[in-house]
A and B are shown apart, each in its own frame.
Chain A
Amino acid sequence: MSAAVGVPGSRTVSRIRPRLRRRETGLLVLVGVILVLGSVSLGATQRQLAGQAVTWLPADTGQLVIYLGALVAAHLALVLAGRRSDQVLLPTIGLLGGISLLLMERLPQSLVTQSLAGRSFGLASIQLGWLVLAIAVITIAAIAVRSDAWLRRYKYTWAAAGIVLLLLTFLIGNEVNGALLTITVGPISGQPTELIKVILVIFLAGYLSDFRPLLVGASMRLGPLRLPPVPYLLPMFAMWAMALGIVVIQRDLGAALLFFAVFLALVYIATARASYVVLGLILFVVGSFIAYQLFGTVRDRVDIWLNPFVDASGKGYQVIQSLYAFGRGGIIGTGLGAGLPLVAGRLPIPAIHTDFPFAALGEELGLIGVVAILGLYLVVIERGLRIAASAADDFRALLAAGLTLVVGVQAFIIAAGNLKLIPLTGVTLPFISYGGSSLLANGVVVGLLLALSDRGVEPPPPPRPSRARRPGFLGGRPGGGR
């Protein structure tokens, strides 16, 4: 039986009233304890290895205090703003970021150095700065985003912005390890693909929520497959072409794989039709085959994946060292700070802070630690999909699901690449890898998820306002009808 189940308050702006977030407080306290324990373990090990007197102090008290302070500040801001948003995401991200900070404190600080205002900063200090900025981005997005109209109205503008960014990367990108990844504008350089992935999800959510009835309804038979008519298939081919373009021009396999996987997952979520996924997988296989045949980079990656020991001191070197690292780690790991002896004064894995943090954690925290970290990503995915499932309309559901998948799939791609389950592709491990672009883009993702999960957020605007022609009442006949 349907019945009136409640009357929500009027839509006038109510006074901001602080609201306690007990679950978040509890989990954050736990995060603080875990990070202090990790830091003490790292500090004691490092001092012992350096031959200093062993003290039971954190590795770098100042950095730990700044990081935990940022988390507490974010928590307080959410409490004071009175948001009723998800309470698990912030502590989970906080824990992942804290592990990242411990890892960066542990690696040689000379991997990345930057001087600012006459002082020079090492790897951990820079990463700490980016982490604090990312937490700030999460908090600001979670509090400031009160309506999603600016996201759903301008979906084609967003798409255009994404394409412009992509073309810019093609044209003026700098090469990193054989892939066009970064754009440098003046003193700032960044990886646009990290931002493009967010824009892609916003566009896809808008597009799919608008055309969902058409995609579900119409069909055309092609052998055993029921496909929609050709015009509705065009986006799929466009997306496929874009992914191939990224592989060909940018030689960035990871981004291409991520974009296409998220696209397919979102199409499936929107339509619940397996035929799209089958078609997408066929396109994927065809595209991969063509790329393997034509491009040396792709062939190298696949060959390394199949057998890295063919060229153990050359192309297969990093992957083999990564496997060794997991092997040295064993079940419970060597302990933070105790792994990775320098080989001939050099790190065995040069890109350890960006592409192989999962291997470094595998060595120092072991199987148990790595499973826990994968578990943390699962927590993020669970919260995100829950937010999607309880969203008020299709756009928000698709947006939340897409944002979640972008983080989850990316973590899977790089973790599996480190473990040699799939060919290695150079994407970052979200919230753990070193790098500002990655941290900030993923901060935007989590901030939007928090904003979408807020129960007090503005109701969705009426769909397609341009076409909505309000029917007048003048033509109607009162008392009419059967």
Chain B
Amino acid sequence: MDPYVVAIWIIRIAFLGGLYLFMFGVARLLLRDLRVATRDPGMALARLVVVASDVTEPPRGTVFGLDAVATIGRDVNNSIVVEDDFASTEHAALTFRGRAWYVEDLGSTNGTYVNGQRVDGLSAVSYGDELQVGRVRFRFERSRR
């Protein structure tokens, strides 16, 4: 057999094999990422980041992971406690209902604001919106993976 033919054959197969090796490498990275994601048990659905705060708790920069139902208020039984005299005991609730997130004012005295506008009852929020409860402003964000 002509050594040239054999050699060129091997190189060609090696080139094609290399393409699949590359794909295999990418797939392994993907699997590793997925495993890391599943190993993390407390995967929050979304998060609230405190962007401005005039009170000591929560301070600016705090990040809250959100479950499907999260309540905000002054009472310690809320999932997010805002220690502010301007916040009501049970101030607002954030809920994830199938496709979208909603914020609901639970009859607070000073109101809940989305992007600077006071909300009555149930209203849809989208990622990137700004929520204000008392003297604390939150940014509503997608959870990081």
Contact surface of A with B, Cβ cutoff 8 Å: 1-8, 10, 23, 26-27, 30-31, 33-34, 37-38, 40-41, 44-45, 48, 54, 56, 87-88, 91-92, 95, 209, 212-213, 216-217, 272, 332-333, 335-336, 365-366, 368-369, 372-373, 375-376, 379, 382, 389-395, 397, 455, 459-460, 462-464, 467-471, 473, 475-482
Tell me whether A1 and B115 are in contact (CB under 8 A): no
Q: A48-B4, A382-B30, A481-B90 are in contact. List 18 more A-B contacts (CB 8 A).
A: A27-B26, A34-B15, A37-B14, A54-B4, A95-B19, A217-B124, A336-B12, A366-B16, A369-B19, A392-B128, A392-B142, A459-B139, A460-B139, A462-B115, A463-B115, A469-B116, A471-B111, A477-B109
- Contacting A at CB under 8 A, from B76-122, are 79-80, 85-91, 99-100, 107-111, 113, 115-118
Contact flag A30-B128 (CB < 8 Å), given A2-B79, A38-B15, A336-B12: no
The contact sample of 13 A-B pairs, CB cut-off 8 A, is A2-B67, A5-B44, A5-B63, A6-B63, A95-B22, A332-B12, A336-B15, A376-B23, A390-B145, A393-B126, A394-B126, A460-B139, A482-B89
* Chain A CB within 8 A of B13 CB: yes
- Contacting A at CB under 8 A, from B36-72, are 42, 44, 47, 49, 51, 54, 58-59, 61-67, 70
Note all chain A residues with C-beta closer than 8 A to B63. Answer: 4-8
Tell me whether B18 and A30 are in contact (CB under 8 A): yes
**Interface residue count for B (Cβ, 8 Å)?**
71
Note all chain B residues with C-beta closer than 8 A to A393. Answer: 126-128, 141-142
How many pairs, one residue from A and one from B, have CB atoms within 8 Å of each other in the complex? 195
User: How many whole Å from A155's CB to the nearest CB in chain B?
Assistant: 14
Contact surface of B with A, Cβ cutoff 8 Å: 4, 7-8, 11-16, 18-23, 25-26, 29-30, 42, 44, 47, 49, 51, 54, 58-59, 61-67, 70, 74, 79-80, 85-91, 99-100, 107-111, 113, 115-118, 124, 126-130, 132, 134-135, 139, 141-142, 144-145
Note all chain B residues with C-beta closer than 8 A to A48. Answer: 4, 8
